[in-house]
């Protein structure tokens, strides 16, 4: 079922969803199941599964190092299919511009269609770890807008090199990212909203936001999006602070602001166990306020751990 259909069927009730990352190559999928199992009591209608970019590794060959490209966390589509089969829950594989050609993207979409996956998240993706700025993959999309358009074209039988008349066209529900504090590369929030409108006009069906820690920024973002003609559902993304290092890491990586009250509470902690509890309590407060305002879904970035997400959900749902 499509995400938008889940939202419509909820009739105004706020839904619970979360996001996971594939295990590193060589690790068992059981690790994912162990973290998904405790969250199933909250009846998530869908689960997102991230896709990793390629990265460089250096192989020692007798004192000389050979530079190779690899993916440390492959298997997004396979994991999505496994979760749907095991739990009977819809999944949302993430599709990236970075690291994928248009042909590779088409192959992934065909696989998703065959596997009964109805939803995809279309993202530009980040720069590679060794690059300061994002560089498009040769033969790939430069912006998420183009990726959205490619996905939407398939619903009309328009493949990259031919148009096929068929009664079995894919019809994906497409999610895209939104940034309450603007994308780190955008010159302004208004210009970032114009890019978001372009993605929606290209065929995006809903928006999931980057993490934020000040609900007012989310409410202001939604208001501005509506004023710019963006009418699709906007889902807030929530990430609980888990370690003290997040005070430096999250603003640096995601270019977001942390409220001073949250900073002070984390600074007062003597260990990461206390920090984790502060993160849970802050996310509960955020979630309750967002739910009271009628957001369609509360989407949690679990990063493979479920204990803090479970603690939040127990107090919110």
Beta 64-70 vs 55-61: how paired, if at all?
antiparallel
Catalytic amino acids? 19
The number of helix segments (H) and strand segments (E) in the chain equals 11, 11
H or E element, residue 289: helix 272-292
50 with 237: CB under 8 angstroms?
no
H or E element, residue 264: helix 260-267
Q: Encoding tokens for residue 95?
A: 């599709």
H-only helix segments in 3-129: 3-10, 30-36, 76-87, 102-114
Q: Tell me the sheet residues that pair with 300.
A: 18, 238
Q: Which residue has the tokens 């807008």?
A: 145
């Amino acid at each position: 079922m499509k995400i938008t259909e889940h939202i419509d069927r909820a009739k105004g009730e706020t839904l619970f969803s979360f996001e996971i990352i594939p295990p590193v190559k060589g690790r068992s999928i059981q690790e994912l199941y162990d973290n998904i199992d405790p969250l199933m009591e909250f009846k998530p209608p869908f689960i997102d599964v991230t896709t990793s970019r390629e990265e460089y590794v250096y192989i020692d060959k007798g004192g000389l190092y050979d530079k190779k490209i690899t993916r440390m966390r492959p298997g997004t589509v396979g994991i999505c299919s496994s979760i749907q089969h095991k739990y009977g829950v819809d999944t949302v594989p993430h599709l990236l511009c970075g690291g994928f050609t248009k042909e590779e993207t088409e192959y992934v979409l065909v696989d998703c269609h065959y596997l009964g996956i109805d939803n995809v998240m279309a993202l530009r993706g980040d720069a590679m770890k060794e690059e300061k700025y994002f560089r498009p993959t040769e033969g790939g999309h430069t912006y998420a807008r183009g990726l959205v358009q490619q996905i939407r074209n398939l619903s009309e039988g328009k493949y990259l090199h031919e148009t096929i008349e068929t009664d079995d066209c894919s019809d994906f529900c497409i999610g895209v990212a939104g940034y309450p504090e603007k994308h780190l590369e955008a010159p302004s929030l208004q210009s970032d909203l114009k890019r978001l409108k372009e993605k929606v006009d290209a065929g995006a069906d809903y928006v999931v936001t980057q993490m934020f820690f000040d609900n007012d920024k989310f409410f202001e973002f939604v208001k501005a999006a509506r004023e710019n003609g963006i009418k699709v559902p906007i889902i807030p993304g929530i990430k609980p602070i888990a370690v003290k290092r997040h005070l430096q890491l999250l603003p640096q990586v995601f270019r977001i602001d942390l409220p001073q009250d949250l900073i002070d509470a984390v600074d007062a902690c003597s260990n990461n166990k206390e920090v984790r509890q502060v993160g849970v309590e802050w996310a509960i407060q955020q979630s309750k306020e967002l739910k009271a305002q009628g957001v369609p879904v509360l989407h949690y970035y679990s990063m493979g751990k479920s204990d803090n997400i479970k603690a939040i959900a127990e107090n919110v749902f």
